[in-house]
Structure 1
Amino acid sequence: MSSILQGLGVLAVVIAVGFLLARFRVLPEGTQQILARLVFFVATPALLFRTLSGAPVGTVLSSALGVTAITTAVGAIGYLVIARVRRKSLGESVIGALASSYVNAGNLGIPLSTYLFGTAAYVAPVMMYQLIVLAPIAFVALDIAETGKRPSVLRVALQPVRNPLVLASALGVVMALGGWSLPAVVVRPIDMIAGIAVPGALIAFGMSLYGAPLPGRTGSRTELTLIAVLKMLVLPVVAYCLGQFVFQMDPVAVLAATLAAALPTAQNVFVYAIRYHVGEALAREAVLVTTILSVPELIAVVGIVHR
């Protein structure tokens, strides 16, 4: 229990630093957008490459990958159906679907997995699926929403290669599968850059909270409620049932899969929203609300599943 509180507490402190930087105008206007782009294009790709390249292949390509794929589909499709009924735009629908299914595997999942299980490998399948499957699909849809044009088949096929997050994740998996390693002179600068990813995303998120209205006051209360129910209730239940009864995973793996599904919406969704200039308020509020709800939920999951 203390490890969960410790992990969430660390995140809260760094977010508060970002909020204070914006509150006292320590940095010039536009810093939040610049920081978010730095995290998106440089730091997060480095972090994903290092994490996935060092993950055990058996853990990455395990039943947890199937659990992640199914639970992600439940969250994303569940939101898209409602968004379709409410006639939301494509961009807003994609951001909402990501907020309902894209978990904070990097910023919170890695430290929690390390604290609880002694390794970050349990979140590797989640990160791999999100970055190699979910993100490319979302980016294609967001590109369409941004340009208003249907991309060619070639453009869609090349989309994963054009995105630094997807490319870095794919390279990391290839390195893990081949059992290859890079020389220290190459690894050290990558590690230094990767170290910016988590605090950078959290500080940018904290800066966005200054002056922002309370959750639900931007006209997205219905969408926010739907995201909270899908992300924090439906997905953990689905993950537990799949792990326990369908894939018949061992108890530790079931607990890890359920905890992964119960993680809050990733700050990456907010970074993507800024990048494509759509759904920024919804993404920000979804991250905030699900992070708050995750505190009692993660504790409850450990208490209920790990008996």
Structure 2
Amino acid sequence: MELAQHPVLASLIPVCLLVGAGWLAGRMRWVGPEAVRGLSNLVFMLLIPALLFRTMSAVRFEQLDPRPVLAYFPVALAWLLAQIGWRGFTPRSVVLALGGTFSNNVMIGLILVELAYGKPGLVTLLTLVSVHSLIILTAASVLIELAQARQASRDSAQAPRLLKTLWSAMRASLLHPIPLPIAAGLLFAQTGWSLSPLVDQPLRLLGNAFGPLSLVLVGISLALTPLAGHWRAALPVAACKNLALPLLVALSGWALGLGGLAWQVIVLAAALPTGANVFLFAQRYRVEQELTTAVVGLSTALGLLTLSAVMLLTAALAGS
């Protein structure tokens, strides 16, 4: 088999080329920061919901396997806490721990999993995506509020704010253009109906536009991300995300008896680069915004190499 025809590389090469094309567009300033924000809104508010709803609209509850969620999230939460314990319980350590835990499951993960593992793999990933932000971001929000309260030595005065933050984080995670279409698609599938071609065809076209546009946007964002002066501090965080978390999730999946495609998908999900939501989190709390931007950029750049290694290794171990 020629190297370029290896199934893992055959799925990674188009991803790398599209990210590279976006990087070139960003370096040449063909697309500016304002246009990137507008295109990102288009992707998240229209293209992603179309893809997610259409994918899940034919999935019955009995087809869903809860084991990937059980293998992934206890480990991810434990890893989040371990990183905070390693750096000390401060707002800065919470933000950096989130950078070492929160995956870019949408912009990169969806298209990569679909190319590599097809619709069955995509369904497994969407099972994780449906609760990813709710679990990880809600936990991080509570932890940073506690860290800020501890730092200010005003724990009792901060209790109402903590409860308010918990509710706001949960509501924002549920009322979001990612979990909502997943839930709506699943509920539609349980009716036994099928989408009319008049509806299915536009959804298919919108979903098809998501993959290339999202990867080009990743490349543009990478080109616009300043790493100078921050890459040394960002490297350990990127290593936690790209290397340590997938190893832990792989061991967890094995311990639960998960194998084959589902195991490969959860390890890939853990190996994906740091998601952009981490920067938004840092921006919200005004903690290490420049360093977090560098973490996202460096993790993404290194991800082109680490994802290749993880996918090749899991394919060999899973015997596929």
* Aligned partner of residue 164 in structure 1, secondary structure: coil
* Aligned partner of residue 98 in structure 1, secondary structure: coil
Displacement of 1:96 in angstroms is 4.5
Aligned 1:13-52 pairs, distance under 5 A: 13-28=17-32, 30-52=34-56
Displacement of 1:281 in angstroms is 2.5
1:107 aligns with 2:111: yes
Contact 1:76/1:100, CA 8 A, preserved across alignment? no
Given the alignment, which residue of 237, 248, 259 partners 2:257? 248
Alpha-carbon separation, structure 1, partners of 2:279 and 2:315? 32
1:35 to 1:93, Cα distance in 2 relative to 1, 3 A: farther
1:119 to 1:229, Cα distance in 2 relative to 1, 3 A: closer
Residue matched to 2:187: 174
Stretches of structure 1 lacking an aligned partner (at least 5 in a row):
144-148
* Aligned partner of residue 236 in structure 2, secondary structure: helix
Aligned 1:149-168 pairs, distance under 5 A: 151=164, 155-156=168-169, 158-168=171-181
Question: 1:194-216: CA deviations, max 9, x gaps?
Answer: 223222221112112335455xx
Letter in 2 for 1:228: A
1:24 to 1:156, Cα distance in 2 relative to 1, 3 A: closer
Alpha-carbon separation, structure 2, partners of 1:260 and 1:103? 14
Displacement of 1:171 in angstroms is 1.5
Stretches of structure 2 lacking an aligned partner (at least 5 in a row):
146-160, 284-288
Alignment TM-score, normalising by the size of structure 2: 0.74
Question: 1:79-132: CA deviations, max 9, x gaps?
Answer: 444454565176565444314999953121221112xx9764343433333255
Contact 2:48/2:178, CA 8 A, preserved across alignment? yes
1:165 to 1:119, Cα distance in 2 relative to 1, 3 A: closer
Structure 1, 217-226 or 279-288: larger mean CA deviation: 217-226
Residue matched to 2:245: 235
- Aligned pair count reads 296
Residue matched to 1:264: 272
Contact 1:263/1:298, CA 8 A, preserved across alignment? no
Question: 1:214-271: CA deviations, max 9, x gaps?
Answer: 5xx4425344323323542x33333333333x3224x4256435643554226xx126
Question: 1:50-102: CA deviations, max 9, x gaps?
Answer: 22333353342332221122333244333444454565176565444314999
Alpha-carbon separation, structure 2, partners of 1:289 and 1:228? 9
State the 4+ residue runs in structure 1 displaced beyond 6 angstroms. 100-103, 138-143
Alpha-carbon separation, structure 1, partners of 2:141 and 2:40? 16
Alpha-carbon separation, structure 2, partners of 1:172 and 1:135? 23
Aligned 1:69-88 pairs, distance under 5 A: 69-82=73-86, 84-85=88-89, 87-88=91-92
RMSD: 3.8
Letter in 2 for 1:256: Q
